Structure formats: C-alpha cells, structure tokens
Amino acid sequence: MAARWVLLGLLAACVTEAAKKDMLNVCMDAKHHKTKPGPEGELHNQCTPWKDNACCTANTSMEAHKDQSYLYSFNWNHCGGMKDKCKRHFIQDTCFYECSPNLGPWIVQTDTSWRRERIMDVPLCKEDCDQWWNDCQDSFTCKENWHKGWNWTTGSNQCPRGSECRPFKTVFPQPADLCEKLWSRSYKYTTESQGSGRCMQMWFSNTEVNPNVAVAEYYARLAGAPMPGPGAWLFLLAPALLALL
C-alpha cells in the first residue's frame, strides 16, 4: 500500500513540473513566432543569446537588424536617421520580443489582424530602461505610442499629418515613459536591478545562462498561474498504475 502512494506522489510531482515547464516555455501566437521554442543553432548578432532555445528563426533574427525589414515594414528612421547607439536598443527589443520563450506570464489575448496574442506589463530591469532612454534621448520621433496612428500610405510608417519630430527626451521625459508608452504597455518600468531575479533582461550575454527563465518562474508562482490540470491526469492514470502493483 505504501508503495502505491509513493508512486502516486512521484507521478503528481512529475506531472506538475511538466505542466509548469510547458507554461513557462512558450511562444506567443503572433506574426513571426514559431509554434514552439527550440534550438536554432545560429541566430544573428544581437539575437544570439536565444539561440539555444528560441521562438524566432534565423531568418527573423536577420530581419530584426534591418532598418526597414519585411517583419513589420517599420521604419526606425521616420524622423531622420536614428543614431546607432539608440537603434541597437530597438534591435534588442525586437530580438527579445521575437525570440524569448520566457514571456508566458505576460502573454494576453488580443484582437488584431496580424496576431492573436501580445505581451503586457513585462517588468523590465531598471538598467535596461534607463540605458535605452539615455542612448535615445537625442534621437528624434514624432509619436509617443508606436503601435498605432502612423501614416501607412507608402507601405511603411510615416509621421501622421500635423505631427512634429521632437527629441526622445521631449516625447518621453523619463525612462518609464519610453518603456511603458512606446508599445502600449508591453513593458513595465521597475526599480529592480539585473540579477535580482525580479525583472526581465533584454540584454544578457550568450555565454551565460538565460536569467529570464528564473524570473518568469517567479512571476508565474506569484500570480498563482494555473497549470493544466495535473489532478485530472492523476485521476485517469491512478487506476492503471495501481493495477500494476
């Protein structure tokens, strides 16, 4: 009898862990994401840190580095040439969004023609937001929210009529304004630091363990994220397992 309950306990632990892993190792249902994360072998330049487990393909990682790629036909240089030190943050933002398999706790449903899911309020580390703002403050843009309101008549985003190109530091007075308003609250500014285990890092080395795995697990537990029914599996499998003893 004791052996039976030990077996059931082990099964419960295995099923729960498997469910948690599936929930935290996912790709959102969006335009260019793979259906499941997995190794890519090689990803281009700034997307390299995700090569061992990615939601993006090698081709997507190449396109992420272009000024105006087929991904979204988005033109970073809509107010003149964006400075390279600023542009690298937008490339990293694209790599993070397209490639990370650790965004599960912040994926929500959306109703658009080009994606069924999006991310919302992903807690970014203070250093990531602050450096993004510092490096972009003297580049120019004409809009606060880059998700909508552009003039697309030419096939790529142009400033809407009547708008004015202004320095980032005017459009986004603080780092929090940039991180939170740019993509309709996709990101949330935090005072947590890299390495704290409480914030997501856009920037990390491809030679280190992905720090965002542990962060996603923490927030999933904090939110009491539901796992897909291990109790149901136990109920169905228990009679068969007990019959074997």
Mean pLDDT of 214-240: 61
As given in the structure block, the two tokens for residue 215 are: 């962060």
Flag whether pLDDT at 52 surpasses 70.
Answer: yes
Q: What separation, in Å, do the N-terminal and C-terminal C-alpha atoms of the chain show?
A: 9
Flag whether pLDDT at 6 surpasses 60.
Answer: no
Condensed to tens digits (0 to 9), the pLDDT of residues 11-29 reads 334 434 444 545 689 998 8
Mean pLDDT of 169-175: 97
How far from 62 is each of 40, 73, 156, 196, CA to CA, in Å? 13, 14, 19, 31
Domain positions in the chain:
26-224
pLDDT for position 29: 84
Mean pLDDT of 29-50: 86
Condensed to tens digits (0 to 9), the pLDDT of residues 133-145 reads 999 999 999 999 9
Separation CA 212–CA 202 (nearest Å): 9
- Bigger pLDDT: 245 vs 152: 152
Flag whether pLDDT at 57 surpasses 50.
Answer: yes
Condensed to tens digits (0 to 9), the pLDDT of residues 82-128 reads 999 999 999 999 999 999 999 999 998 887 777 788 899 999 999 99
CB–CB of 33/98 below 8 Å?
yes
Task: Provide the mean pLDDT of the chain.
Answer: 82
Per residue, what are the HEC states of the chain? Answer: CHHHHHHHHHHHHHHHHHHHHHHHCCCCCCCCCCCCCECCCCCCHHHHHHCCCECCCHHHHHHCCCCCCCCCCCCCCECECCCHHHHHHHHHHHHHHHHCCCCHHHEEECCCCCCCEEECCEEECHHHHHHHHHHHCCCEECCCCCCCCCECCCCCCECCCCCCCEEHHHHCCCHHHHHHHCCCCCEEECCCCCCCCCCECCCCCCCCCCCHHHHHHHHHHHCCCCCCCHHHHHHHHHHHHHHCC
pLDDT for position 23: 62
pLDDT for position 14: 40
Question: pLDDT band for position 67 (50/70/90)?
Answer: confident
> Which one-letter amino acid corresponds to residue 76?
W
pLDDT for position 225: 52
Mean pLDDT of 219-233: 59
Ramachandran region of residue 149, left (φ > 0), alpha (ψ -120 to 50) or beta? left
- Bigger pLDDT: 155 vs 133: 133
Separation CA 127–CA 171 (nearest Å): 20
Mean pLDDT of 194-222: 90
Question: Which pTM was predicted?
Answer: 0.80
Q: Choose the weakest-confidence range: 47-51, 60-64, 238-242.
A: 238-242
